[in-house]
Chain A
Amino acid sequence: MTQQGVRWSADQVLALAPDAASRKAGSKLGAAGPWSEAGSSDEGTVWGLCKGSGSKPYQTVVDIADASGPAYKCTCPSRKFPCKHALGLLLLWAGEDSAVAPGSPPPDWAEQWTEGRRQRSEEKRTAGSADSPSGSADPEAARRRAERRAERITAGATELEQRLADLLRGGLAGSEQTGYALWEETAARMIDAQAPGLASRVRELGVIPSSGPGWPVRLLEECALLHLLDQAWLRGERLPESLAATVRSRIGLPSSADGPPVRDRWLILAQYDTADARLTTRRIWLYGADTDRTALLLSYGAAGRAPELALPVGLTLDAEVAAYPGTGQPRVALGEQFTPPAPASIRPPGVTTTQAAARYGEALRDDPWLDSVPITLDRVVPTPASDGWQLVDADTDTALPLTPTARTRPGLWRLIALSGGTPVKVFGECGHRGFTPLTAWAEGTEEAVTLC
């Protein structure tokens, strides 16, 4: 396997940064000045010595060929991950700077680290396949634990039903005054009931009354869907298995990706983070060129820290993924990665706005709680409308409005600039609030432009 020509772009490298400060600091180190003895090997290792404020330079090494995204090691004391030195080194490498000598043998310190890592991951893999049955050492105890949790969730769901009924009996009109505290308290009760999915839905209910005109409609919709989820849990035994699996994952029960591994050339469509006070969630959308399917990787980090998994948008990797249970659920886990991400001219086929709306409707059949589905729109023109922006079909007079979140993102203007009033291909999430563009391609160009 050769690494020649598989360099990343600066954008892709900067997407790995845990925060804006690291982006900036890393950009500054992406020049030859402070670096010495930098090089890259054909096996996908990049290394270099970076002169810092001390007398001894930092030793920085990055393994870009690792199956679970790049791995970093640096002797600097920074707690950021990756640190600015790793980012700077990758930028230097991405810039095809002659300071990073390609195809050279790594120095001992870099060699030791990569060897150690690969050995460990090899051990883990062999151990993993051998250990999986013994993971649940005591199936009886595990079953009892699961039962106890189910009982707690049932108690929680019943309590939540009662609270919803009380709310509807008194009327939603009062919700504007009662404020957020009541919902926070209910959410805490759901956490106690070990139903994090219910808790986060309850928390979202709390912000609807202050979300502007039309809030009663949105509040009733979300209350009704929460009620639907409660009822689905309480009558879980009467649901078909795949729908029951969807309900379990919506409630927040852990599940494992036990679907059969699917190997494909996966185009990395988009990567973006959402954060609340407790958790940073990273979503990575993939498109499989051979299976024609869109899949979602989720990765989590503690609040304020970037999740570990990071993939460069626009590149393609040959890898196996395994699906999580539940019909129509896009979520997968990344399995073995056969090549590092590399450029390829794969683009997802697109649909019209009418087909996109129909797709969302069809997906609700399997999961009525779904807010959006991944869609690639073909030949749409970003167009200003009286109340925001739309993506207008180039050839018909139908359009999808952009979601309120998408309207305030800087990515909107990148999309408008890229289009310049001509049709573009746009990947994004399409749902009842509208369309959220995530990545776009201009006609006649290869480059995927990230919008998130």
Chain B
Amino acid sequence: MSSTSGPAAEPVPVTVPTSVAESVPAAESGPANPSAPNLWEELVTAALLGTDRRTPPVHGPGHGHAPGHRHQAPVVLLDAAAVETVRRRAGLRPAQAASRPEPAPQDPRPALPAAAARRLALLLADRPGTGGGGRRGTAPDLMELLPQWLAAANARGFGAPPQVLPALLDAARGRTDLRPAALTFAGSRAVWLARLNQDWRFALRATPGGGAALPRPDDVEGTRRLWQEGLFAERVALLSALRAREPAAARELLTTTWPTERAEDRLMFLDSLRSGLGPQDEPFLEEALADRSRNVRATAAELLSALPDSALAGRMAVRAGACVAVDPMRETPTVVVEAPHECDASMERDGVVAKAPAGRGERSWWFGQLAEAAPLATWPARLGGRTPQELVALPVADDWQGDLHAAWCRAAVRQRNAEWARALLGTPSAPEAGGPGAVSLAERAKLLGTLSAAERSAWVAGFIATHGLSEAFQLLGVCTVPWSGPLGRAVVDALDIARDAGSYPWSFSGVMGLAERCLDPEQANRLEGLTSIPEEAEDASPGAGGYWAEAFQRLVTTLRLRAKMTEELGTPLSPSGV
């Protein structure tokens, strides 16, 4: 210890306002200078007021100037302050410890291979706002590869290196689409961290139970207590977790407190019944049709209509069926629609909204809701035993085709009926599939969602082969990654055709970006030939060839990088989608 500081017996609590953080010199124990703490305070006071107004409380030993001598007073003060400053610093003691945080739960998952950990650090270093910008050039967009990397790491069951969690949480904070995969990878320690940092609160919201441990499945008492006393988010998490395991138990738990819940809570709880929905839920949902809240009634009706055998679906089938018939008197069989003339109380009770939105005719509005909620099996039976394909192909009288087919689309999506979806989508190479028809692109994307992955990508591949890329972006979004062989080839061929047509690559930047993320890395070799700069054709846009070569080179580089990323992570535990 420095000689300027007396040896101290024990830590002393903070008593003076000082810059020395939470610590303070053990001054009382310095026998040579019993008035030390006061001395420092008096020095500070004298310095603040100035020695002209306040004489410093010290004599000037060693310098020979007389105490109180006005000319020398500042020097005397500085001398004493210098001694005190060094004395105080030399005598610093550690502070009293605050209570330590509860340790984060152990992450049992294996650590990343070294190469993969380095790759992750690189991907996270490429965050937006870390400089750069401007034209993309031939370098891959690393941030866009993060979602895939996370999916691949999760498929292999790796845990995150703890020190990357802050960067990972920051990345997920800015991009909600990253959150589920990022939080899965980040694991329990991220939730532990999020409790300490306001910026990462989303991790608590996104994690079931706000990170609090849910009661074990067999803990009946704990489940009941959490349900009755827990916070709203905890209760929603509990209900969803239970629903995923035992649908009936979840419904019964909800029934115990249903009448006492607030309307907006009832809506959220009802929504969590969407998963694992089955015929057993019908009595409960029928009851909810009489709920005080209109939104709760509407949701209950929607859920019931997704159960083709429910009483509500049956009632809707009767109502909708009454509106549609095949007119046998015409030369070619034609569907005729007679929309309902009124929306009665029983219809409203079954979830039909009586008031049409502005600009929409009341009768077509009611009809749309009825046809949408009726089980699709109603129609072949009602309309002469025709198959969905035949029904979709029938002409519809008096401009009702749009309403009828749109309602069928919504029904096919809601009831996840692949047969109807196929019929409504039609063949991808049909000329009307490319233009705006009765079925919009957004609806087509939803219909595709009901098909199997292979069928979906085959349909989109056929669509692109006939209609090119201009309408394909949304449809490509629903295809599984990596794209199947035929789909990948269709996209690459279409890009090649677009290049030969002489347009600039940025007209296709959306599809290009998707291709970088979704093409199978195996396609890289096939693409290699496209990265050279071609002879400029007469009618081509100036310089387009060079930009295309650059875009294709970036595509190849990105594909190679993705292959490398996957290789670094090793073999997946189970077949993964990356």
Chain A interface residues toward B at CB < 8 A: 9-11, 14, 19-25, 27-34, 51, 53, 91, 94-97, 161, 164-173, 213-214, 216-221, 223-225, 227-228, 353-354, 356-358, 360-362, 364-365, 368, 381, 383-387, 390, 392-393, 396-401, 403, 410, 413-414, 416-422, 431-434, 442, 449
A24-B132, A53-B137 are contacts. A420–B103 as well, Cβ < 8 Å?
Answer: yes
Q: Is B2 a contact partner of A361 (Cβ separation < 8 A)?
A: yes
**Interface residue tally of chain B, by bracket?**
35 or more
- Give bound CA distance, A219 to B165, whole Å: 39
Q: Is A20 a contact partner of B1 (Cβ separation < 8 A)?
A: no
- Give bound CA distance, A367 to B507, whole Å: 67
Q: Which of B18, B81, B86, B131 contacts A214 (CB 8 A)?
A: B18
Q: Is B82 a contact partner of A228 (Cβ separation < 8 A)?
A: yes
Q: Is A34 a contact partner of B166 (Cβ separation < 8 A)?
A: no
Q: Is B132 a contact partner of A387 (Cβ separation < 8 A)?
A: no
Across the A-B interface, the 9 shortest Cβ-Cβ residue pairs = A33-B557, A171-B50, A21-B131, A28-B139, A420-B104, A421-B103, A224-B81, A168-B74, A385-B98
Residue of chain A at shortest CB distance from B160: A417
B249: CB under 8 A from chain A?
Answer: no
Q: Is B126 a contact partner of A401 (Cβ separation < 8 A)?
A: no
- Give bound CA distance, A372 to B367, whole Å: 79
- Give bound CA distance, A410 to B170, whole Å: 11
Q: Is B23 a contact partner of A34 (Cβ separation < 8 A)?
A: no
Interface code B550-573, partner A: CB below 8 Å = 1, 0 otherwise?
000110111011001000000000
Q: Is B126 a contact partner of A216 (Cβ separation < 8 A)?
A: no
- Give bound CA distance, A60 to B7, whole Å: 60
Residue of chain B at shortest CB distance from A161: B75
Q: Nearest Cβ distance between residue A8 and chain B, in whole angstroms?
A: 10
Q: List chain A residues, Cβ under 8 A from B324.
A: none
Q: Nearest Cβ distance between residue B44 and chain A, in whole angstroms?
A: 6
B323: CB under 8 A from chain A?
Answer: no
Q: Which of B3, B74, B131, B138 contacts A51 (CB 8 A)?
A: B138
A-B contact count (CB 8 A): 268
Q: Nearest Cβ distance between residue B86 and chain A, in whole angstroms?
A: 5
Q: Is A364 a contact partner of B90 (Cβ separation < 8 A)?
A: yes
Q: Is A421 a contact partner of B101 (Cβ separation < 8 A)?
A: yes
Q: Is B21 a contact partner of A433 (Cβ separation < 8 A)?
A: yes
- Give bound CA distance, A164 to B78, whole Å: 9
Q: Is A398 a contact partner of B96 (Cβ separation < 8 A)?
A: yes
Q: Is A417 a contact partner of B189 (Cβ separation < 8 A)?
A: yes
- Interface stretch of the complex, out of B115-123, B206-214, B314-322: B115-123
Q: List chain A residues, Cβ under 8 A from B95.
A: 385, 390, 398-401
- Give bound CA distance, A33 to B139, whole Å: 8
B residues 149-163 touching A (CB-CB < 8 Å): 162-163
Q: List chain A residues, Cβ under 8 A from B126.
A: 24, 27-28
Q: List chain A residues, Cβ under 8 A from B85.
A: 220-221, 224-225
Q: Nearest Cβ distance between residue A365 and chain B, in whole angstroms?
A: 5
**Between-chain CB contacts (< 8 Å), 27 pairs:** A11-B121, A53-B137, A164-B78, A169-B51, A171-B50, A171-B52, A171-B53, A173-B49, A217-B17, A221-B81, A224-B78, A227-B75, A360-B89, A360-B92, A364-B4, A365-B2, A368-B82, A381-B101, A385-B98, A386-B98, A398-B11, A399-B94, A413-B166, A417-B162, A421-B102, A432-B21, A449-B163
- Give bound CA distance, A30 to B18, whole Å: 50
Q: List chain A residues, Cβ under 8 A from B44.
A: 216-217, 220
Residue of chain B at shortest CB distance from A219: B47
- Give bound CA distance, A94 to B114, whole Å: 11
Q: Nearest Cβ distance between residue A99 and chain B, in whole angstroms?
A: 9
- Give bound CA distance, A399 to B93, whole Å: 9
A96-B115, A214-B17, A392-B97 are contacts. A169–B122 as well, Cβ < 8 Å?
Answer: no
Q: Is B122 a contact partner of A30 (Cβ separation < 8 A)?
A: yes
Q: Is B97 a contact partner of A432 (Cβ separation < 8 A)?
A: no
- Give bound CA distance, A358 to B4, whole Å: 13
Q: Nearest Cβ distance between residue B550 and chain A, in whole angstroms?
A: 9
- Give bound CA distance, A152 to B154, whole Å: 67
Q: List chain A residues, Cβ under 8 A from B94.
A: 353-354, 356-357, 393, 398-400
B375: CB under 8 A from chain A?
Answer: no
Q: Is B50 a contact partner of A19 (Cβ separation < 8 A)?
A: no
Residue of chain A at shortest CB distance from B11: A398
- Give bound CA distance, A10 to B363, whole Å: 66
B376: CB under 8 A from chain A?
Answer: no
A31-B557, A53-B137, A221-B19 are contacts. A364–B131 as well, Cβ < 8 Å?
Answer: no
B99: CB under 8 A from chain A?
Answer: yes
B125: CB under 8 A from chain A?
Answer: yes
Q: Is A168 a contact partner of B50 (Cβ separation < 8 A)?
A: yes
Q: Nearest Cβ distance between residue A419 and chain B, in whole angstroms?
A: 8
Q: Nearest Cβ distance between residue B535 and chain A, in whole angstroms?
A: 16
- Give bound CA distance, A385 to B92, whole Å: 19
A10-B122, A24-B126, A214-B17 are contacts. A168–B49 as well, Cβ < 8 Å?
Answer: no
Q: List chain A residues, Cβ under 8 A from B197.
A: 413
Q: Is B74 a contact partner of A24 (Cβ separation < 8 A)?
A: no
Q: Is B89 a contact partner of A361 (Cβ separation < 8 A)?
A: yes
- Give bound CA distance, A365 to B5, whole Å: 10
Q: Which of B21, B51, B131, B163 contacts A417 (CB 8 A)?
A: B163
- Give bound CA distance, A304 to B81, whole Å: 38
B48: CB under 8 A from chain A?
Answer: yes
